[in-house]
Structure 1
Amino acid sequence: MARRYGEAYWTKEQPIEVKTKRVWLSYFPQAGKLQLATYFKKDGEDIRAKVVTLDQEDIALHPEARDLILRALEDWR
């Protein structure tokens, strides 16, 4: 299957990552992607599950989505 924009961004860029007890966040600044995933351990290795990717271009095109994300982050401060 051909990729829409060429090589997969996660193979070209090392993400900035943070893991909490339940969520694994991976930020790819060059690609404009933020991944949020649940994860579990298998054979001593962390395995991602249920990955959601927020896309900078999509969020920029929908200000109401950006505003909701910013509101949630501010409320949680």
Structure 2
Amino acid sequence: MEEVSITTPMIQLDQFLKWAGIAETGGHAKELVEAGLVTVNGELVHERRKKLYPGDMIKVENGGVWKVTSG
């Protein structure tokens, strides 16, 4: 698990995927979500703009696990 620090109270999932280096572009982030490859706190996500907060856990199928932290 890798921790990714944000400097705002929340971040949208697609922005997080780019910020953490998981997705190269916003389009790539959208593809990951639409393909059903992303879960947040163990729940499959279909909304690429889902709001994430410190403490949330993001998992990408065959990619890894990340935890949002506040910085």
TM-score by length of 2: 0.30
Going by fraction, where is strand more abundant, 1 or 2?
1
The structure showing larger relative contact order (alpha-carbon pairs under 8 Å, at least 6 residues apart) is: 2
Higher-Rg member (1/2): 1
Going by fraction, where is helix more abundant, 1 or 2?
1
